Structure 1
Amino acid sequence: MLANSRRYSQLAGRFGENWVYLFLALLVLVFGFAGRGFFAVKTLNNILISSSPALLLAAAETFVIITGGIDLSVGFVRGLVSVIAAIVMRDLFALHFSPAFSIFCGVLVGVGLSFLPGLLNGVLVAKFKVPPFIATLGTYGIANGFALRYSKGFPVTFLPPQVGEIGNGFLAYYFPGEGFSFFRSPIGFLDERVRDLVGIGPYAIIIVGVILYVFAFLLSRTQFGQHTYAIGGNIDAARRAGINVERHLIKVYMISSFLSGLSGIMSIFIFSIGTHTQFASSLELFAIAAVVIGGASLMGGKGSIAKTVVGVFILSVLEVGFLTSGIMPFYRYIAVGAILIFAVIVDQILPELGFE
């Protein structure tokens, strides 16, 4: 009897830790059978490419949520960096600088700018003890205002054509009957046959994958990551252990802002425009939902980049799966809400039952 109870406890604990992986696999199987063309290479490539900016944004939110905070500014930081970086690219290219130089300068300016909102958030939270919700809501408004000011509410266009080639390129291309072409699509065939071209290894997901690996390593294998979990678990105990909590929180918010800025730059490469939208607040909700579905606790001290990635793909697969299955889009919001509630229940119930 006792052995059965322990076995049940172990199984429940494993389910609580790994249900997101099982759920993602289930979604893929269901939509694979129900959705027309869901398993097509182009559909899977679309999921990977369109998820790339969202992965960076969710990773940004992961760092802050692990400390027990929240960052409401990530969506508009992404929009601000996207607009400013695109303006730099556009203006330098219009002045007849080379595409490579224009793109490099735009990325450099965008990366430099991306640290500033996080520095402001970190100082407000760590030094002035402003609640993270209020501090990042203020930065949300500032970034929103500056993005609108410089974009005038319109997408930034006329960028170097190479921008889109980076974001939508592949390591290899397969053309039926003609074989493979590496690093660039084969030339010399009729335009109407382009639809038969199959891309393999999107640049966007490879670039984002490398970035996520670096920050996952930082979070899981370094002293910085240990201190991040310690602050989220018990901030007073972290101080007694000698951790400089204030300085560490500033770094965490700067990392969040930096990753949000990289998300904005990646969106430029994918969509070939610098875009700011008044609905960018939905990006924060998407990122937070992905982190929570991935098993992070809003109370802090728990979460990982790997499971956040799974959370993002669950939301992306839902969106694409509903489209390929012909299901009305509003059902996606119902499904996301239900999954989010289930994730919170799993996070709250299993520890109380002693399963984690």
Structure 2
Amino acid sequence: MAKMVQQLALPAARVKSRPLEIISRFWSWLFLLLLLLFFSLTGPGFFSFLNLQSIVNDMALALLMSLGQTFVIIAAGIDLSTGFTMGFAAVIEAVVLNALVGRLPLGLALALPLSILIALGVGTLPGLVNGILIGRLRVPPFIATLGMYGIARGLGFIFSGGGQPVSVQIPGVGDIGNGYLLYYHPAVGFSWLHTPVLPPGARPRDLVSILPFPLIVAIVAFLLCHWLLSRTRFGRHTYALGGAPEAARRAGIPVARQTLKLYMLSAFLASVAGVLYVLRFTNGDANAGDPLLLDSIAAVVIGGASLFGGEGTMVGTLIGTLIIYVIQNGLVIIGIDPYWQFVAIGAVIILAVLMDQAKARVLSR
């Protein structure tokens, strides 16, 4: 009789916990919608096309770093070196580009791709070292990447000549980094890749720029990473490594090699962000990625990834990044002191951890 009562009670408990499970799983989506609604009602011009495009363009670099961080965190690791890896890659890009154009000299059409390849190759080296230390030598990820944090920071300062930003005064570089895929003006219609020539009497302020190049790169990277994580063996091995590393090893998954690939991918994406930084701001700054490090980790956590590994998605990371940058932009628009951004984002991180714990308790029932 008691067994029968328990069996009847189980479905009722599951039905009762179902709303809690849904809320704990999708709270970040709901929270983002509430933020958009709140700032749209309180911030003049927040919900305009130009402002929303500005938000997603500003988050492009952080999103690239967050994508790499997602792979690492799902595998129960962490990469504290990505901020200065980005800065190191930016410095290398600026130094090499200046040398190729100013000293050899090469045209921008040849020098730019060559400098990008060199910057990406050099910027991936910190990830290679991290992967060897963590995967082969079993150094804890926190310690290994913290050490690389200092190494990449020092190298960035050394190659920049003392920590000062390396200016890139080459015509056309800023146009690439601040260009758009599409332009529209009522007087001339659409124009691809370049600003249209306006007829006499046309107002320049009516020109609408659509899809900035850094955002396009971030979107392509997001789609590739989403496919890689959700549709490939590489993604399955990543989840297995974070969920049960010993079981993954016994199942024949090359744990050391997988770890190496993960940290190299994280460094590579941070290096892509460093290259885009140079193209957008026309300088290579060793400190460029330092403010983005904690944002990238926060975005992954807010997006639903567990710091214990085995759980997380690229879509969740995208939502987490959007939440951070909507908060930053919205607080500025409604006139709140910018320092409150840190308080707000810190509170959201704590909320994310609480939601993760609530989800764990609901699923364990």
TM range (shorter): over 0.9
Q: What's the offset of the Cα at 1:333? A: 1.2
Distance in 2 between residues matched to 1:88 and 1:107, nearest whole Å: 9
Q: Cα deviations across residues 74-94 of structure 1 (Å, max 9, x unaligned)?
A: 000000001101111122222
Distance in 2 between residues matched to 1:13 and 1:38, nearest whole Å: 32
Conserved? CA contact 1:82–1:274, under 8 Å: yes
Amino acid at match of 1:15: I
Describe the SS at the equivalent of 1:172.
Answer: strand
Q: 1:21 aligns with which of 6, 24, 29?
A: 29
Distance in 1 between residues matched to 2:15 and 2:332, nearest whole Å: 41
Describe the SS at the equivalent of 1:174.
Answer: strand
Taking a change above 3 Å as real, the CA distance of residues 87 and 69 of structure 1, as seen in their structure-2 partners, is: same
Taking a change above 3 Å as real, the CA distance of residues 319 and 190 of structure 1, as seen in their structure-2 partners, is: farther
Q: What's the offset of the Cα at 1:38? A: 1.0
Amino acid at match of 1:271: F
Q: What's the offset of the Cα at 1:162? A: 2.3
Q: Cα deviations across residues 201-238 of structure 1 (Å, max 9, x unaligned)?
A: 22221121112211211111111111110010011111
Q: Cα deviations across residues 153-189 of structure 1 (Å, max 9, x unaligned)?
A: 1212134332222222222212244433222112356
Q: Do structure 1's residue 80 and structure 2's residue 123 form an aligned pair?
A: no
Taking a change above 3 Å as real, the CA distance of residues 144 and 26 of structure 1, as seen in their structure-2 partners, is: same
Distance in 1 between residues matched to 2:205 and 2:328, nearest whole Å: 23
Residue 241 of structure 1 is matched in structure 2 by 251
Q: Do structure 1's residue 149 and structure 2's residue 158 form an aligned pair?
A: yes
**Which deviates more from structure 2 when the two are superposed, residues 244-253 or residues 163-172?**
163-172
Amino acid at match of 1:78: M
Q: Number of residue pairs matched?
A: 355
Gaps of 5+ in 2: 1-8
Residue 302 of structure 2 is matched in structure 1 by 293
Distance in 1 between residues matched to 2:201 and 2:272, nearest whole Å: 33
Taking a change above 3 Å as real, the CA distance of residues 140 and 181 of structure 1, as seen in their structure-2 partners, is: same
Alignment of 1:47-126 (within 5 A): 47-95=55-103, 96-126=105-135
- Relative to the length of structure 2, the TM-score reads 0.92
Conserved? CA contact 2:274–2:289, under 8 Å: no
Residue 269 of structure 1 is matched in structure 2 by 279
Residue 226 of structure 1 is matched in structure 2 by 236
Q: What's the offset of the Cα at 1:252? A: 0.8
Conserved? CA contact 1:71–1:132, under 8 Å: yes
Conserved? CA contact 1:49–1:168, under 8 Å: no
Conserved? CA contact 2:20–2:362, under 8 Å: no
Residue 136 of structure 2 is matched in structure 1 by 127
Distance in 1 between residues matched to 2:95 and 2:290, nearest whole Å: 22
Conserved? CA contact 2:94–2:168, under 8 Å: no
Conserved? CA contact 1:41–1:198, under 8 Å: no
Q: What's the offset of the Cα at 1:281? A: 3.6
Amino acid at match of 1:83: V
Distance in 1 between residues matched to 2:200 and 2:79, nearest whole Å: 49
Taking a change above 3 Å as real, the CA distance of residues 170 and 191 of structure 1, as seen in their structure-2 partners, is: farther
Residue 4 of structure 2 is matched in structure 1 by none
Q: Do structure 1's residue 344 and structure 2's residue 329 form an aligned pair?
A: no
Q: Cα deviations across residues 255-294 of structure 1 (Å, max 9, x unaligned)?
A: 11111111111212222221222x8443221111010000
Q: 2:14 aligns with which of 6, 22, 25?
A: 6
Conserved? CA contact 1:16–1:347, under 8 Å: yes
Conserved? CA contact 2:80–2:145, under 8 Å: yes
Distance in 1 between residues matched to 2:39 and 2:362, nearest whole Å: 34
Distance in 2 between residues matched to 1:58 and 1:194, nearest whole Å: 36
Q: What's the offset of the Cα at 1:2? A: 6.7
Residue 5 of structure 2 is matched in structure 1 by none
Distance in 2 between residues matched to 1:191 and 1:17, nearest whole Å: 54
**Which deviates more from structure 2 when the two are superposed, residues 170-179 or residues 326-335?**
170-179
Distance in 2 between residues matched to 1:17 and 1:168, nearest whole Å: 37
Describe the SS at the equivalent of 1:69.
Answer: coil
Larger Rg: 2
Q: Do structure 1's residue 46 and structure 2's residue 38 form an aligned pair?
A: no
- Relative to the length of structure 1, the TM-score reads 0.94
Runs of 4+, deviation exceeding 6 Å? 189-192
Q: What's the offset of the Cα at 1:13? A: 1.5
Q: What's the offset of the Cα at 1:355? A: 6.8
Amino acid at match of 2:172: Q
Amino acid at match of 2:323: I
Q: 2:219 aligns with which of 209, 222, 229?
A: 209
Taking a change above 3 Å as real, the CA distance of residues 68 and 155 of structure 1, as seen in their structure-2 partners, is: same
